[in-house]
Amino acid sequence: MTRFTVNNQPVQYRLDPATPLLWALRDASNLTGTKYGCGSGDCGACTVDIDGVAVRSCTVAIGSIEGAFVTTIEALSRDRSHPLQQALLAANVVQCGYCIPGIVMTAQALLRRNRNPSEDDVRRSITNLCRCGIYPRLTDAILQAAS
Ligand code: FES
């Protein structure tokens, strides 16, 4: 049995401790906002926040995060007035939307540790892949959310 906290709720998983967090969230907790892209830690679609750090959940075994605090896109989505969400909407950033949950989780972790990031900070932090090529608008929106 593996225990930790997801979106401020205690969870217990009777799964193999080697199960990737991504699949525990999606299949056992029905938190499907966290997306599967590559399964190898490259694309960032599966990014969640673990203890304040943006982490690619496909690379994290649930047995390795006993007692941790996990936050998923569902927790952020509840608050539509979040400055990051407002900035993304105002800049019309989203195209197909598949990568957006992972990008939002990465960006919120960046803004928490750096309230005044430079354009270069944003470009270096947001390494998530987006096939629609939203990067210029995305960078502008994150800088807007920080201001
Ligand atoms: Fe986890 Fe691509 S699905 S990084």
CATH number of 2-76: 3.10.20.30
- Residue for token pair 């049995």: 1
Distance 119 CA to ligand 1 centre (A): 24
CB contact at 8 A, 69 and 4:
yes
Contact 106, 128 (CB under 8 A): yes
pLDDT at residue 125 in the model? 96
**Please, which pLDDT band fits residue 147 given cuts at 50, 70 and 90?**
confident
The rounded Å distance from CA 60 to ligand 1 centre is 11
Q: What is the pLDDT of residues 87-145, one digit of tens each?
A: 999 999 999 999 999 999 999 999 999 999 999 999 999 999 999 999 999 999 999 99
Where are any strands of DSSP class E within 26-121? 47-50, 53-56, 69-71
Which of 40, 72, 127, when mutated, tests ligand 1's pocket best, judged by the most ligand atoms within 8 Å of its CB? 40
Residue-wise pLDDT tens digits, 67-87: 999 999 999 887 777 889 999
Whether the pLDDT of residue 28 is over 90: the answer is yes
Q: State which of 56, 60, 98, 103 you would mutate to test the pocket of ligand 1, scoring each by most atoms of that ligand within 8 A of its C-beta.
A: 56
**CATH classification of 78-146 is 1.10.150.120, yes or no?**
yes
So where are the chain's domains?
Answer: 2-76, 78-146
pTM of the shown model: 0.95
Instruction: Measure 129 CA to ligand 1 centroid, in angstroms.
Output: 10
Please report the ipTM that was assigned to this predicted complex: 0.97
Per-residue tokens: 142 = 């994150």
